[in-house]
Amino acid sequence: MSALQTLLRSRINGRASPKGWLSFNCPMCVVNGQARPDTKHRAGIIYSPDGAVSYHCFNCEYKTAWQPGWTLGFKMKRLMRQLGFDEAEVQRLGLEILSQADIEKIQTREPEQSWTPDWPDFRLTFPIRPLSDIPKIEYLKSRGLYELANWHETDAKFAMLDQRVILPYTYQNRLVGFTARFVGEKPDSTSKYLRRAPADYVYGLDNQKEQRQYVLVSEGEFDSLITSGLGLGSNSLSARQAQLIEDLNIEPIVIPDRDKASRSLVEQAAERGWNVSFPEWENCKDVNEAAIKYGRLFAINSILQAAEHSPTKIRLLARRYCQ
């Protein structure tokens, strides 16, 4: 019997079927968007003789699994927390399992996906070239961003594109869109950002590595460059964006901007059982400003140190920091 099986058996009392499944009320249904808690024992869990565990709810369709040789995935950790295990127990088990696994043989966990992006290739209607304009380069260097991406520019006058730096959006190494940030004194009638992206796009998916323990999720793409994380492109999270992030099987930490509009993102993250971080940054609106003030490594480390999992604490902190 594996350590995971032992812990789960201590919390789950279910009705056994002839095939070995234990059925019980799913703790994930409300978290997964159902209107009311499960009362009809629609969740099933099965323990294999080799120590493996499989879980499936036939109501909210939450699925997760683990077997010897795998690390403890985000979805299994999320289930454990909903079952009432405290954070110390979850982290202790994760470290124990990691120490037992052969790192060279760690397998891909929980590959099932209910939706796979079919974002088409994006066709630019204007010519672009690698960035060479000195003032634009100096602007990006002042924000610590120049060396973190492949920047472009254009001579096109539409929407004052010739006065912007262009950051390509890619997915599976294909161009699917872009964002263009105005550099210099912006006219009042001009938007700071010009964004063209497919629905539910998440910037930075191509850069995530399986071995990471956390993926840092920011509202803006420039912030995500600082953390080598993900950018939502807004202060809200769609269901499909959330699924793409969870399918990475890397535990997410959301870093909201310090404004009232970000409370909706904080609430969405709390509802999904994600971590949210509120570092003690003085007079910094977002990750990029913190990196400029404190340095990139310090900013990232402070995000990790301030990560909070408790939904109650997250909501309380949001009242203090997101205003």
* Residue 284: predicted pLDDT: 95
Question: What is the CB-side half-sphere exposure of residue 303 using CA atoms within 13 A?
Answer: 31
**Sequence ranges of the chain with CATH classification 3.40.1360.10:** 208-321
Please state whether beta strands 129-130 and 307-308 pair in parallel, antiparallel, or not at all (unpaired).
Answer: unpaired
- DSSP label of 176: E
CB atoms under 10 Å from CB of 316, counted, come to 12
Q: Which two tokens stand for residue 17?
A: 């079927």
Q: Which residue has the tokens 């120590």?
A: 51
Do 39 and 25 form a contact (C-beta atoms < 8 A)? yes
Kindly report the pTM of this predicted structure.
0.77
Q: What is the b/e burial string over 146-163, where b = at least 16 CB atoms within 10 angstroms of the residue's CB?
A: bebbebbbbebeeebbeb
CB atoms under 10 Å from CB of 44, counted, come to 20
Per-residue pLDDT of the chain (323 residues; tens, 9 = 90+): 899 999 999 999 889 988 889 999 999 998 877 889 999 999 999 999 999 999 999 998 888 998 888 778 888 988 999 999 988 898 889 888 877 655 444 444 444 446 789 999 999 999 999 999 999 999 999 999 999 999 999 999 999 999 999 999 999 999 999 999 999 998 988 999 999 999 999 999 998 876 678 999 999 999 999 999 999 999 999 999 998 998 888 889 999 999 999 999 999 998 888 899 999 999 999 999 999 999 999 999 999 999 998 888 999 999 999 98
Helix (H) or strand (E) holding 266: helix 263-271
Beta carbons within 8 Å of 219's beta carbon, 6+ residues apart: 231, 232, 233, 234, 235, 256, 257, 262, 265, 286
Give the dihedral sign, CA 317/318/322/323: negative
- The torsion region of residue 278 among left (phi > 0), alpha (psi -120 to 50) and beta comes to beta
CA gap 26, 29 in Å, rounded: 6
| CATH code for the structural domain at 208-321 | 3.40.1360.10
Q: Is 245 helix (H, G, I), strand (E, B) or coil?
A: helix
